[in-house]
């Protein structure tokens, strides 16, 4: 019976050890590697944009890749974080 108590105690110590805490799930990643879906030149990519100064409401704008590029936005780079949907 005392052996079972020792096994349980050692199991709890190992589970709380730094080695167990540093193990990560290989399927998870810090930042998604997702790029924007492919589309035609007319496809609009809807993404969150920063709120206007003095406002707390975040807006969603839908523009083509060319229109986003004119604003200095790389759709493929920012899609994973800011992307909402595509239209067209």
Residue 38, SS3 per DSSP:
coil
35 has pLDDT over 50: yes
Share of the chain above pLDDT 90, in %: 47
**Predicted pLDDT at 53:** 82
Q: Give me the pLDDT at residue 4, please.
A: 53
Is the Cβ–Cβ distance between 61 and 46 less than 8 Å?
Answer: yes
Q: How far is CA 87 from the centre of its chain?
A: 21
Whether the model clears a pTM of 0.95, i.e. scores above it, the answer is no
pLDDT score recorded for residue 40? 93
The predicted pLDDT at position 34 comes to 82
């Amino acid at each position: 019976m005392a052996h079972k108590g020792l096994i349980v105690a050692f199991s709890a110590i190992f589970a709380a050890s730094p080695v167990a805490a540093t193990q990560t799930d290989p399927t998870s990643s810090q930042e998604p590697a997702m790029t924007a879906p492919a589309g035609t030149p007319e496809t609009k990519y809807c993404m969150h944009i920063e709120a206007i100064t003095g406002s707390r409401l975040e807006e969603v704008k839908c523009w083509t890749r060319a229109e986003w590029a004119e604003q200095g936005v790389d759709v493929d780079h920012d899609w994973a974080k800011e992307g909402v949907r595509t239209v067209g």
